[in-house]
């Protein structure tokens, strides 16, 4: 499962950089939920809403870098620590992702937390 989780993160980074709807769709099951601010907002529900909302809030290619490491895998759940740095204004965020992977390697649930670095 560690290999599947690492592949998923690599595909996520590809989709983040391309903003291609098919790249985004390939990450998620049909009924997936994507929590962008789990304590503040309703999740994006379903693959098509995930694509729509992703593109509405997208980052432009080349505007960011992302460093990450896979912290742990428990069954189909993966835990990822990351660092996102934006180029123009030098904002940086520490990230924690929890990804629930289905048997086919797509995410049925994705939760992200991000905290600004000072």
CB-based contact 24:18 (threshold 8 Å): no
The mean pLDDT of 3-11, rounded to a whole number, is 97
74 lies in which domain range? 2-116
The model's pTM? 0.93
Q: Write the CATH number for 96.
A: 3.10.450.50
Please report the pLDDT score of residue 88 as a whole number.
80
CB-based contact 24:51 (threshold 8 Å): yes
Please count the structural domains in the chain: 1
CA angle centred on 46, ends 70 and 98, rounded to 5°: 20
CA distance 48 to 13: 19
Please report the pLDDT score of residue 37 as a whole number.
81
CA distance 105 to 5: 8
Question: Burial of 81 by CB count in 10 Å (0-12 exposed, 13-18 middle, 19+ buried)?
Answer: middle
């Amino acid at each position: 499962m560690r290999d599947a989780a690492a592949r998923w993160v690599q595909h996520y980074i590809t989709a983040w950089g391309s903003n291609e709807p098919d790249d985004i769709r390939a990450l998620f099951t049909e009924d997936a939920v994507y929590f962008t601010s789990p304590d503040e907002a309703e999740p994006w529900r379903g693959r098509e809403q995930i694509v729509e909302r992703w593109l509405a809030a997208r980052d432009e290619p080349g505007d960011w870098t992302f460093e990450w490491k896979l912290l742990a895998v428990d069954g189909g759940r993966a835990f990822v620590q990351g660092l996102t740095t934006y180029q123009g204004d030098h904002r940086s965020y520490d990230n924690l992702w929890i990804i629930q992977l289905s048997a086919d390697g797509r995410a049925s649930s994705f939760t992200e937390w991000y905290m600004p670095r000072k």
